[in-house]
Structure 1
Amino acid sequence: MQYVDEFRDPELAKALLAQIRETISQWPHPITRPLQIMEVCGGHTHAIFKFGLDRLLPEEIEFVHGPGCPVCVLPMGRIDACLEIAARPDVIFCTFGDAMRVPGRNGSMLDARRRGSDIRIVYSPLDSLKIAQDNPDKQVVFFGLGFETTMPSTAMTLQQAKLRGLKNFSLFCQHITIVSTLRCLLEQDDVRIDGFIAPGHVSMVIGCTPYQPLCDEFEKPFVVTGFEPLDLLQAILMVIKQLKAKAENADYVLSIENQYSRIVPNEGNKLAQKALKDVFMLKETSEWRGLGEIPMSGIQLTPAYSEFDAELRFTPAPQKVADNPQSRCGDVLTGRCKPSDCPLFGKSCTPETALGALMVSSEGACAAYYQYRREGNI
């Protein structure tokens, strides 16, 4: 199968691993601690564990599992606000399926649906638009969740809603941006990430250049990467080659490289970017589960589309709910610990009884560890 089988070739994987080991062996000085490479996207995390890449690499390389899973960083208070709106008898609340089991203070959307709220799973924002057209006597709310990957489809749906003059459709906006989050991580004193495997799907929309300020300011290499085993191995090789060059020559300038050029143009998707600029604007600050408040990381509607803002239409009570104090989701997201270091992991927190969002989402690091690295499941 083109673009799949070619990127799972065992012989090519062996060749890339040999190059990685050779690069490490030629380091200009002893490596006293593992080189930490953050794979930002949850899709990368699962590919790493599914194909066992972490076990094939030299011990000098360590993965840090980043915050690139929007469900994983969804605050409990935002879930509670959604449930408050969904409980109204005149509301049909639409969401993607991966948000259904995320726990809030008063349960999940799945629990709320069992209690009688009309909460429906959709596969596209346009599905919720059709539901609004088919139910003119109901207020239809779409839960917009995700990074820049999913934002264009939400933006274009709102453009259609405005064009059609729909008055019973609105958006609960939980879209977030990736670059501000990475900046927040890099500004923390005890985070020591050496390089980044940047998300392929997000970069397909925003391109490669938005990472440049982080690359320049914090002197970290970024490699935009695909999701197959050879993509990831090649990206790791590209990252460590840059780090080795920097170790050999302090004047070497670290850069952004595009491993995923078969999909990601360096300039991104201009049409999608135009839609985002029309519909969305940055919020001054947004809460992230496990990470706290991050400036200029969240998204809200521009004044031209504020009539579709569900929070203005229904004014749910502001909610800020503390995470379980025993949970170490934030430490996992910042590379301070592994999922298995959390006292709740695999005990009270499992995919069936998830207490933290990293275990709920199919892209969460804890779910990946539970599936592929749990004791007895190796």
Structure 2
Amino acid sequence: MTLKLSQDFHDPQIARHLAARITRISRKPVRFMEVCGTHTVSIFRSGIRSLLPETISLLSGPGCPVCVTAQKEIDAFIALAREPETIVATFGDLIRVPGSGSSLQREKAAGADVRIVYSTFDAVALARENPDKRVVFLGVGFETTAPTVAAAIISAHREKLDNFSVVSAHKTVPRALEALTDGEIDIDGFLLPGHVSVIIGLDAYRPFFDAHRVPCVVAGFEPSDLLHSIAMLVDQVEFHRPALENAYTRAVSAAGNPRAMAVMNAVFEVADADWRGIGAITASGLAIREEYAAFDAVKVFDIQLKPVPEPKGCACGEILTGMKTPPQCPLYKTVCSPMAPVGPCMVSSEGTCAAYYRYHGEE
């Protein structure tokens, strides 16, 4: 079955058919991980778990960009907000993430100039409109948003906006799969992220798949998309045919978006990165190239990233790697809630804890 048209993936009959097929053919106990935070929310909102047989366990992975941002990076963002004559521009879900002793929201309440923007180019506009202030954009995200950040840096370079800079805390997905496969949890298959795959394409996962032969399917976001992808993973496992497949063909191609990748690669170079819950992953980050060093906030502000401990009792790191579910965290729904979050998994709209808090028990 190939889902292409909008009436297909919204058709409840198709969803029922896919759920019945999964139940019919699934025999082996398996653990599949959805890597994307949007998938996590879609799975909960759609009640997908309640449609699956007991043989299938779904684990939520490190697909929330804010959630995998290291604690030391959050502290660096907060330190930037305290810089004089500086405007910190950020996407909204980052503003409430707790640092070691504060948050961007608290700094804003105390008088810091922290502004929520809806695109990187909004931050460029701030620099243009405030020539007497330094504007720094907090670049957090995966390959989905990195090209737009790169394009903004190129635009600022062309305009000679010497008061604009970016902290690149970007991370890349394929190398994270390596770390997850080598981790303490056995993962029998991956639901690969749809938005990221639109940019990098199916072929970007080929080196990982060829090395590990773990079943992989790029998934869309509608209920039938997700059930279709899970059915494909079950087929691969039950019939011993591991493969790298694309169930989101209406948006994802083998090559991805070459123009977006070219812009990203023109500004960024591969670098090591620290992931909350996973640790250092070689060549899994994006650093600003020397040609654009004038727009690298790490150099402009001489940012020193110092290791800091995770919040005491917070299991966010273990949740991001599938080792625990939110109800297994001692802070969940006791001292940690969306109104008073302790860790980033409860803050972001794509965070696993936030999804559990909102939807768990409603399926």
Provide TM-score, normalisation by structure 2. Answer: 0.96
- SS of the counterpart of 2:140? strand
- Paired with 2:6 and 2:124, the residues of 1 have a C-alpha distance of 34
Which residue of the partner structure matches residue 315 of structure 1? 302
**Which residue of 316, 319, 322 maps to 1:329?**
316
Return the match for 1:196 from 182, 190, 196.
Answer: 190
SS for the counterpart of 2:317 is helix
Alignment of 1:170-181 (within 5 A): 170-181=165-176
Q: Deviations over 1:251-272 (max 9, x none)?
A: x4x2211111101111100000
1:46 CA drift (Å): 0.6
Cα distance between partner residues in 2 of 1:68 and 1:256 = 19
2:12 to 10, 13, 16: 10
SS at match of 2:102: coil
Q: Which residue does the alignment assign to 2:221?
A: 227
Alignment of 1:195-344 (within 5 A): 195-246=189-240, 252=241, 254-283=242-271, 285-344=272-331
Residue type of the partner of 1:258?
N
In structure 2, the partner of 1:79 is: 74
- How far did residue 5 of structure 1 move? 5.4
The residue correspondences of 1:62-73 to structure 2 (distance < 5 A) are: 62-73=57-68
* Structure 2 partner of 1:128: 123
**For structure 1, which runs of at least 5 residues remain unmatched after alignment?**
247-251
Q: CA deviation at 1:8?
A: 2.5
CA distance in structure 2 between the aligned counterparts of 1:136 and 1:157, rounded to whole angstroms: 17
The answer for the alignment partner of 2:21 in structure 1 is 19
Task: Quote how far apart the aligned CAs of 1:105 are.
Answer: 0.9
SS at match of 2:314: coil
Matched, 1:110 2:105: yes
Q: Which residue is equivalent to 1:249?
A: none
CA distance in 2, matches of 1:145, 1:333: 17
Between the aligned partners of 2:5 and 2:300, the Cα distance in structure 1 is 45
Shift, 1:290, TM fit: 1.9
Q: For residues 111 and 48 of structure 1, what CA distance do their matches in structure 2 show?
A: 32
Report the CA distance between 1:315 and its aligned residue. 1.1
Q: Does the 8 A contact of 1:4 with 1:228 survive in 2? A: no
Please report how far the alpha carbon of residue 4 of structure 1 lies from its aligned counterpart in structure 2 after TM superposition: 5.1
Q: Distance in 1 between matches of 2:5 and 2:36?
A: 20
Q: Partners of 2:97 and 2:311 in 1: how far apart? A: 14
Question: Is 2:52 the partner of 1:57?
Answer: yes
Q: Secondary structure at the match of 2:169?
A: strand
When residues 368 and 133 of structure 1 are mapped into structure 2, their CA distance, relative to the original with a 3 A threshold, is: same
- Number of residue pairs matched by the alignment: 360
Deviations 1:11-42 (A, max 9, x none): 11111111111212xx5xxx3xx310100001
Please give the secondary structure, in 2, of the residue aligned with 1:68. Answer: coil
- Report if aligned partners of 1:221, 1:243 keep a CA contact under 8 Å in 2: yes
Query: Whole-Å Cα distance in 2 between the matches of residues 330 and 86 of structure 1?
Result: 26
> What is the distance in 2 between the residues matched to 1:368 and 1:99?
17
SS of residue matched to 2:18: helix
SS in 1 for 2:62: strand
How big is each residue's C-alpha offset from its partner over 1:62-102, in whole Å with a ceiling of 9 and x where there is no partner? 10101011011112211111121221221111000010001
Report if aligned partners of 2:70, 2:276 keep a CA contact under 8 Å in 1. yes
Shift of 1:203: 0.3
| In 1: Cα distance, 2:214 partner to 2:304 partner | 41
User: Partner letter of residue 239 of structure 1?
Assistant: L
Provide the secondary structure at the position in 1 that maps to 2:61: strand
Contact kept, 8 Å, 2:201 with 2:253, in 1: the verdict is: yes
Cα distance in 2 for residues equivalent to 1:8 and 1:366:
27
CA distance in 2, matches of 1:67, 1:85: 26
**Contact 2:32 2:189 (8 Å CA) reproduced:** yes
Of 28, 35, 44 in structure 2, the residue corresponding to residue 40 of structure 1 is: 35
Letter in 2 for 1:199: P
Q: After the TM superposition, which segments of 4 or more aligned residues of structure 1 sit over 3 Å from their partners?
A: 2-6
Q: How far apart in 2 are the matches of 1:7 and 1:327?
A: 37
**1:312-368 deviation per Cα after TM superposition (whole angstroms, max 9, x unaligned):** 011133222111242211221222121111111111111111111111111011111
What secondary structure sits across from 2:239 in the alignment? Answer: helix
Instruction: Indicate if the aligned counterparts of 1:290 and 1:323 stay in contact, CA closer than 8 A.
Output: no
Segments of 5+ residues of structure 2 without an aligned counterpart are: none
Residue type of the alignment partner of 1:359: M
Q: Could you say what secondary structure the match of 1:85 adopts?
A: helix
TM-score, reference length from structure 1: 0.92
Which letter does structure 1 place at the counterpart of 2:349?
Answer: S
Note if contact 2:100-2:311 (Cα within 8 Å) is conserved in structure 1: no
Q: Distance in 1 between matches of 2:177 and 2:212?
A: 11
Query: 2:359 maps to what in 1?
Result: 372
Q: Counterpart amino acid of 1:356?
A: G
TM-superposed deviation, 1:241: 0.4
Per-residue deviation at 1:219?
A: 1.6
